[in-house]
A and B are shown apart, each in its own frame.
Chain A
Amino acid sequence: MFNLTQELVKILGIDPARLRLEWISSAEGTRFAEVATEFTEQIRSLGPSSLKQAA
């Protein structure tokens, strides 16, 4: 399903790099923080989305 969603956003003209799926257990606090920080950085480097007005 995630792969399909990535394909869909690509057709819609949204960078698929703005979408990410990770499964993290409640016992993996450090991992969660790492992924959240990394993904936030990635989104920041991509700049504002063209959908910014939509929200």
Chain B
Amino acid sequence: MTAIAELIDLTKTYFCLDCGVCTGSCPVARVFPDFSPRQIIERSLYELEEPSDDTIWNCLTCAQCSVRCPAGIDFPEFVRLMRDEAHALGFDGVPTHNGMLQTITDIQMQDVVQNRNFWIEDGKTADKGDVFYFVGCRPYFDVIFRDINAGSIKGAQNVLKILNCCGVEPVVSNEERCCGHDALWNGNEEKFKQLAQLNLGLIRASGAKQVVFSCPEGYHTFKNFYPKYFGDLDFEPIHVLDFLADKISAGAIEFEEKEEVVTYHDPCRLGRLAGVYDAPRKLLESIPGIELREMPRSRENGVCCGTTCWTNCSSCSKEIQVERLTEASNTGAGTLVTACPKCQIHFRCAKAAFDLEIEINDLYDIVADRLKV
């Protein structure tokens, strides 16, 4: 059996009805008419699709197609497995930023002692404890994307501030590594496994029972892919919004009233892939003075921020981003709120490049900015 035939068996793409809903839904296909998930599936069924075919790297793996597929075909998973094959044969996507982000994760697999906790300042953390805050790549993003004013680290500082406000002093570690999300979706399973093992060892040593995430990619990867590769976890991966939900509704946090009209952009890893749609909206609506206006394409129809895994950022990405920011502006909101550090970087990049009016802000920045201390 060929590798592609095995992959077809695994993802059951032979159930494809040829309806074309996937291609009709695909944000990339709207900009690049040559890119068609339906045709990729069909070509693969006739064994005409080759892992060397570079179109697979254009997929955003945003799952807009798979949530609508009447045959239940998981196209992003199909693409991920195709990329595994491609990578093994030496074919890769085009890394953005000259591969800097891939190099940074490569270095994290070596015997280095990082200084990633430089941002903590007056936040309260612990060396050991039940709750571990998995910060993710924000410390690196903050430096790399300073030119577009990405403000990545502010999000982590604010998550810690909110946790502290609720009486939680989490473990935050210099030894945390990249969760492996990007390696996994770039077909580099080996790299993913190495990073995951380092993180699992670290968390085990910390004795944490709950690992809190504010990054949707980290959350999705820990929750769905770590058990797939390493079996049941001896801790609970939990999204910070779920972690805080009870504490917030019990009144642990008080907000100052500040008028602002906002719209919420669903990150694909948090929304379609992890199913978290209501929690961020509930939180925004609970803040006095905030008016939340929905974009026409929201929740499971929310459009991707245009690029993923630091691979294949193109004119297509920019077109998707500008269209999305225009959609946000048209709601009358002055701020687009997102809950993913990468969405924030991608949108702030488009805002800087096209001189757009709308503000882009992190959900945790909005919350922390209004905390009554």
Contacts of B107 in A (CB 8 A): 12, 14, 51, 54
- Measured between beta carbons, the chain B residues less than 8 angstroms from A4 are 143-144, 146
Query: In the complex, how many residues of chain B place their beta carbon closer than 8 angstroms to a beta carbon of chain A?
Result: 17
A51 near B143 (CB under 8 angstroms)? Answer: no
Most buried by A among B111, B112, B140: B112
Partner of A8 from the list B106, B111, B144 (CB cut-off 8 Å) is B144
Contact present for B115 and A13 (CB under 8 Å): yes
Total A-B residue contacts, Cβ distance less than 8 Å: 41
CA distance A10 to B117 in the complex (A): 11
* A50 and B143 form a contact (CB under 8 A): no
> Does A11 sit within 8 A of B, measured CB to CB?
yes
In angstroms, Cα B103 to Cα A14, docked, is 14
Task: Kindly provide the distance from the CB of A15 to the nearest chain B CB, expressed in whole angstroms.
Answer: 11
Q: Does more than half of chain A's interface fall in helix, strand or loop, or is it mixed?
A: helix
Q: A11-B118, A11-B139, A12-B107 are in contact. Are A50 and B112 (CB under 8 A)?
A: yes
- Do A53 and B146 contact each other (CB < 8 Å), given the known contacts A8-B104, A12-B104? no
Closest 3 CB pairs of A and B: A13-B112, A13-B113, A13-B114
| New A-B pairs, 17, CB < 8 Å, besides A4-B144, A8-B144, A12-B114 | A8-B104, A8-B143, A11-B114, A11-B116, A11-B118, A11-B139, A11-B140, A12-B108, A12-B112, A12-B115, A13-B113, A13-B115, A14-B107, A50-B111, A50-B112, A51-B112, A53-B111
- Chain A positions near chain B (C-beta within 8 angstroms): 4, 7-8, 10-14, 50-51, 53-54
Chain B residues within 8 Å of A, Cβ to Cβ: 104, 106-108, 110-116, 118, 139-140, 143-144, 146
